[in-house]
Amino acid sequence: MNKRLVDKFTVGLIYTILTITAITVLYPVYWIIIGAFNPGDSLFSTKLIPDRLTLDHFRDLFNKTDYLIWYKNTFKIAFFNMLLSTFLVVTAAYAFSRFRFPGRRQGLMTMLVLQMFPGFMGMIAIYILLLQINLLDNHWGLILVYAGGSIPFGAWLVKGYFDGLPRSLEEAAKMDGAGHTTIFFKVMFPLSKPILVFIAVNNFITPWMDFIFARLVLRSNENKTLAIGLFEFVTGRGNTEFTTFAAGAILVAIPITIVFLLFQKHIAEGLTAGANKG
């Protein structure tokens, strides 16, 4: 009897904690969504259930701001960063996993150590480097920064996955006359779909709302990203368009949400596989 009461109490406590956690997470999201449809410019006056809803803030985004340009710039950076980062990460991971060469151990340790430091510690060096190669205020400069920064963590993760794949498959392909390039694209790629999807999606999402490096590299209005443009809605004394900011934030979240829902199975498989194998 006492054990049954303890079990019921434990289950009730778990559900209570989960409910409180869900409310804590979802309430700010609900507040932003309602604020985007609420008249006026302030979120302070937003009611839990507003008296009237409006689409004026969404219309203002497209008619009175450069929101579409910011969206296009951000999508361009995220898309090409996804392609370049995934290629660099996967090729680096394959080389470290399958080949033995001078400096391999030191390279792995260097990547491991680099993960311990936050990216903004190298902001001055990045700024000077991009200035010297004439890539300041250039989307490709930002893409190169993101792509280079994704290699240490991504390469370690994918290397762990590659280490778990049987070498007998590659040996069989070599006996059939396949070279390293053919083995990489025809054997390793099809077997690595979960981890590749995880890396690709992660590298697409990472720059989508990054503000620090985008603010450092980009200067002109026509090159702004969503993070910079939306930040200007709520910064400074004259910019208090919080409800317009909320409308823009909702539209920013839509692509990320769709990508996550479409690939959540592969993301989970890739993350657990990369963590467990090696």
Joined together, the tokens standing for residue 14 give 């778990």
For 22-33, write each residue's pLDDT tens digit.
999 888 888 888
Confidence band, pLDDT 50/70/90 cuts, at residue 163: confident
Domain end among 37, 54, 71: 54
For 202-256, write each residue's pLDDT tens digit.
899 888 878 888 988 888 888 999 988 888 887 765 567 788 888 888 888 888 8
Shared domain check, 134 and 24 = no
Shared domain check, 42 and 164 = no
How many separate domains does the chain show?
2
Q: How far apart are CA 29 and CA 27, in angstroms?
A: 5
The enclosing domain of 257 has a CATH number of: 1.10.3720.10
Shared domain check, 218 and 110 = yes
Q: Maximum Cα–Cα distance for the chain, whole Å?
A: 75
Are 98 and 170 in contact by the 8 Å Cβ rule? The answer is: yes
Shared domain check, 45 and 104 = no
H-assigned helices in the chain: 2-37, 56-64, 67-98, 104-114, 123-132, 139-163, 168-175, 180-183, 189-191, 193-205, 212-217, 226-234, 242-276
Confidence band, pLDDT 50/70/90 cuts, at residue 17: very high
Shared domain check, 78 and 21 = no
Shared domain check, 83 and 8 = no
DSSP assignment string, 110-151: HHHHHTTS-GGGGHHHHHHHHHHTT-TT-HHHHHHHHHHHHH
Shared domain check, 149 and 41 = no
Please state the rounded mean pLDDT for residues 141-146.
91
- CA atoms within 13 A of residue 99's CA, in its CB half-sphere: 13
Q: Which of 2-11, 86-95, 167-176, 233-242 has the highest mean pLDDT?
A: 86-95
Residue with tokens 């001055």: 124
Please state the rounded mean pLDDT for residues 97-120.
81
Shared domain check, 40 and 96 = no
Give the Cβ contact number of residue 130 at 10 Å.
Answer: 20
Domain end among 18, 37, 54: 54
Shared domain check, 69 and 153 = yes
Cα–Cα–Cα angle for 84, 270, 121, rounded to 5 degrees:
50
Are 274 and 160 in contact by the 8 Å Cβ rule? The answer is: yes
Joined together, the tokens standing for residue 65 give 């701001």
For 181-196, write each residue's pLDDT tens digit.
888 888 888 888 888 8
Q: How far apart are CA 171 and CA 177, in angstroms?
A: 10
Shared domain check, 39 and 71 = no
Q: State residue 197's pLDDT score.
A: 86
| Range of the structural domain that residue 39 is part of | 2-54
Confidence band, pLDDT 50/70/90 cuts, at residue 277: very low
Q: State residue 278's pLDDT score.
A: 44
Shared domain check, 112 and 209 = yes
Q: State residue 11's pLDDT score.
A: 87
Domain end among 54, 74, 93: 54
Joined together, the tokens standing for residue 148 give 């280079």
Residue with tokens 């190298």: 122
Shared domain check, 205 and 77 = yes
